Amino acid sequence: MVTDHYTYRVTWSPEDTQYVGLVAEFPSLSWLADSQVDALVGIRRVVDDVVRDLQATGESVPTPLADRHYSGEFKLRIPPELHRMLVIRAAEESVSLNRLISSQLVIR
């Protein structure tokens, strides 16, 4: 399996005073290094090793997030009062409830 499609991230770790390489599909894995490049290279090597080990033992290998199918739908439970308020606001703005809520979602 090619591990290029996994979701890698490199960030600074103030606790370790080093960069840390992470991968979303394997939250327990990380790699510390003095440079961002070395942190990325390190975590990719670790993932390669882990995937090889999982395959060798017949265990399941996580599908990369980038390769998964997403329907664009998810269920959200909210209090009835909030639901009512959102429906009213959507009506006042002449948009669907779905359009109102999706326009308010922001990734930070």
DSSP of 53-97: HHHHTT---PPPGGGS---S-------HHHHHHHHHHHHHTTS-H
Specify the residue for token string 């090889």: 52
Q: How confident is the model at residue 107 (pLDDT cuts 50, 70, 90)?
A: confident
Report whether 3 contacts 47 (CB < 8 A): yes
Report whether 78 contacts 85 (CB < 8 A): no
pLDDT 10s digits, 71-85? 999 999 999 999 999
Residue 56, pLDDT above cutoff 90 = yes
CA distance 72 to 49: 33
Chain centroid to CA 98: 23
Report, as an integer, the average pLDDT of 10-37: 98
Residue 108, pLDDT above cutoff 90 = no
Residue 1, pLDDT above cutoff 80 = no
